[in-house]
Structure 1
């Protein structure tokens, strides 16, 4: 049996690697990663509201460069953070996002990261736990 994906983890990984603009494009069905199988915006009223507020929060992130903070004005538009609502959207399972697309993007991100062995992170001087002055 396949384990359920950690949707919030996938979303955060995509935000970290690609930014809010790519996640918004995924929600809008306009990403280069969007597939024909993507069902699009949720039809359920509550899920659609959550999807809409997630879009607003991502738009705030794009224009402000941060996840939270005071509302900002850009030209004739005001943007506000909806961080709590965004977190609620994640708890609902990120309605409007298509899990296979998320998994594909994260797979690409992981494949493009340099692979390091565990020993590469340990300086030579720390290789032995019995170094002078360590006990």
Structure 2
């Protein structure tokens, strides 16, 4: 029975990429984001997201992405680059997204600044979004 369960689990995990899901935290990428619309409780696809790292008093762009149908960018950190300790900023371009939904927002961009201390292998930044407010936290 133990062998059969192992085979079933292996087949299920191998099917994840075909279904649009990565096995584990974005197949090893150290940073992901997720945007949910609190107004209707649904994911927010097609939100532009920019990742920057602070270097002294300047910000340098590392990568960008667009949320998928589930409202996620599962691998926002540059592919093949080691996550360094430091201060990072993820900016969610929400004004464009609200306009595409025929809505308005008080927050055309939402910057989330966070510190990477290397204590965990994966950082997840969720954004709960509404036209006149938002919330974020350190996810897993």
TM-score by length of 1: 0.22
Structure with the greater alpha carbon radius of gyration: 1
Relative contact order (alpha carbons < 8 A, sep ≥ 6): 1 or 2 greater?
1
Question: Which of the pair is proportionally richer in strand?
Answer: 2
TM-score by length of 2: 0.22
Question: Which of the pair is proportionally richer in helix?
Answer: 1
